[in-house]
């Protein structure tokens, strides 16, 4: 009998997981989403083979069930699954960026002949929806599993086999460790970015001038503050304990900086930034992590009609797709700067080579 994977939530993550499964396995992929438009799009793009009429019908014969929904919705779905007829031996996993509450909720599945293994693929995109789904989205990314006690090594291996098409690096963590690490490297930075934007918005003075001055580097370093408010509300409430600890530690860290400034301790300030610089430069530069990477290339352009179309034309000639393009600075008689964003490091490097071959000066920050 043909095996079946059932994907609940046909967005970027759910769609990409479906494509990854299809790339390695001859299985039937069924999908379900609250958006009829997303369901139709998933079918037309051949991300799934069919739409389930309901969650109840979709789970009946599913060998693998993937909950690719926001964390609060995932909790609701797990509670619903506990009341439904499930196939004996089915594997159930989720993709949520918090794990402790989800794993605790999944304890109700222990009475059924199924296995729940918490999951978190630590990769994403700045686009959303199933139309942005890509088979290579998780390639070289960390994919975290947080198995519960009932899960043995054999079940972990089974899930990895289902998901081997992601070409991700699989790791196992306890739910507590996952939430602590994810809080520090993903959730808390989003709080800081949003706070920096609020601080700027509260500045006194000419709003237009503030906006102009913030249009460059400030806009880039706070880019993650543009993420979904609904998603981050749910994540913060789900990971409350870890984030409260991190906030307390952050306040202590800021107090250290404040004391250095109050006492004008130049040596301490220098070493503070030097230590941060050294640690950051020791981080893997091209690995996928909890926050989606930004593959930006900056191109100096002369003040000349048609220069932007020339740049994009060079990229098109070599089949290099871009995801965003912005003019950072252009004034009469001086060089302007194009900021071009790409989908991958490979695309950025190819663009850099071809543009420099055409005598454009490019650089990566």
- Any idea which of 35-39, 95-99, 145-149 has the lowest mean pLDDT? 145-149
Average pLDDT value for residue range 123-140: 82
Find out whether 44 and 60 touch, Cβ atoms under 8 Å.
Answer: no
Angstrom distance (rounded) from CA 93 to CA 255: 42
What is 178-264+276-281's CATH superfamily? 6-phosphogluconate dehydrogenase C-terminal like domain (1.10.3660.10)
Find out whether 338 and 354 touch, Cβ atoms under 8 Å.
Answer: no
Residue ranges of domains in the chain: 4-173, 178-264+276-281, 295-363
pLDDT confidence bin for 346, thresholds 50/70/90: confident
Q: Do domains 4-173 and 295-363 have the same CATH topology?
A: no
Is residue 330 pLDDT above 60, yes or no? no
Mean of all residue pLDDT scores within the chain: 88
Angstrom distance (rounded) from CA 180 to CA 223: 23
- pLDDT value at residue 335: 60
Lookup result for tokens 């299809």: 22
Is the whole-model pTM more than 0.85? no
Angstrom distance (rounded) from CA 304 to CA 307: 6
The pLDDT tens digits of the residues spanning 138-157 come to 888 899 999 987 567 889 99
How would DSSP label each residue in 166-181?
A: G--EEEE--HHHHHHH
Average pLDDT value for residue range 195-219: 75
- pLDDT value at residue 23: 93
β-pairing, 142-147 vs 169-172, is parallel
The pLDDT tens digits of the residues spanning 245-292 come to 999 999 999 999 999 999 999 999 999 999 999 998 887 765 555 555
pLDDT confidence bin for 331, thresholds 50/70/90: very low
How much of the chain, in percent, has pLDDT values that exceed 90? 62
Domain 4-173: top CATH class:
alpha beta
**Does the domain spanning 295-363 belong to CATH 3.40.50.20?**
no
- pLDDT value at residue 305: 80
Angstrom distance (rounded) from CA 365 to CA 353: 16
Looking at per-residue confidence, does 341 or 179 come out higher? 179
Alpha helices (runs of H) in the chain, residue ranges in sequence order:
12-24, 36-44, 55-60, 71-81, 100-105, 153-162, 175-182, 188-201, 207-213, 217-221, 229-238, 240-262, 266-281, 307-317, 345-357
């Amino acid at each position: 009998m043909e095996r079946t994977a059932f994907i609940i939530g046909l967005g970027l993550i759910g769609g990409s997981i479906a494509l990854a499964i299809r790339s390695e396995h001859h299985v039937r992929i069924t999908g379900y989403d609250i958006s009829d438009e997303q369901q139709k799009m998933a079918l037309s793009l051949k991300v799934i083979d069919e739409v389930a009429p309901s969650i109840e019908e979709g789970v009946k014969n599913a060998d693998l069930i993937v909950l690719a929904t926001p964390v609060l919705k995932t909790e609701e779905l797990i509670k619903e699954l506990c009341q439904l007829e499930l196939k004996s031996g089915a594997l159930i996993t989720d993709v949520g960026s918090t794990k402790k509450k989800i794993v605790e909720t999944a304890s109700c599945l222990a009475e059924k002949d199924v296995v729940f293994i918490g999951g978190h693929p630590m990769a994403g995109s700045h686009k959303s929806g199933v139309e942005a789904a890509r088979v290579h989205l998780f390639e070289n990314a960390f994919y975290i599993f947080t198995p519960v006690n009932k899960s043995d090594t054999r079940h972990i291996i089974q899930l990895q086999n289902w998901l081997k098409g992601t070409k991700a690096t699989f790791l196992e963590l306890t739910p507590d460790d996952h939430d602590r690490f994810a809080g520090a490297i993903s959730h808390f930075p989003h709080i800081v970015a949003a706070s920096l934007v609020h601080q700027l918005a509260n500045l006194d003075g000419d709003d237009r001038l503030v906006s102009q001055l913030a249009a460059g580097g400030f806009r880039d370093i706070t880019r993650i503050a543009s993420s979904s408010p609904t998603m981050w509300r749910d994540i913060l409430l789900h990971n409350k304990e870890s984030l409260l600890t991190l906030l307390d530690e952050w306040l202590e860290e800021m107090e250290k900086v404040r004391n250095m400034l109050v006492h004008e301790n130049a040596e301490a300030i220098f070493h503070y930034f030097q230590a941060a610089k050294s640690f950051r430069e020791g981080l893997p530069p091209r690995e996928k992590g909890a926050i989606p990477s930004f593959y930006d290339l900056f191109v100096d352009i002369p003040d000349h009609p048609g220069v932007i179309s020339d740049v994009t034309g060079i990229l098109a000639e070599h089949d290099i797709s871009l995801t965003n393009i912005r003019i950072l600075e252009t004034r009469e008689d001086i060089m302007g700067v194009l900021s071009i964003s790409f989908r991958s490091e490979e695309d950025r490097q190819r663009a850099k080579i071809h543009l420099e071959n055409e005598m454009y000066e490019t650089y990566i920050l």
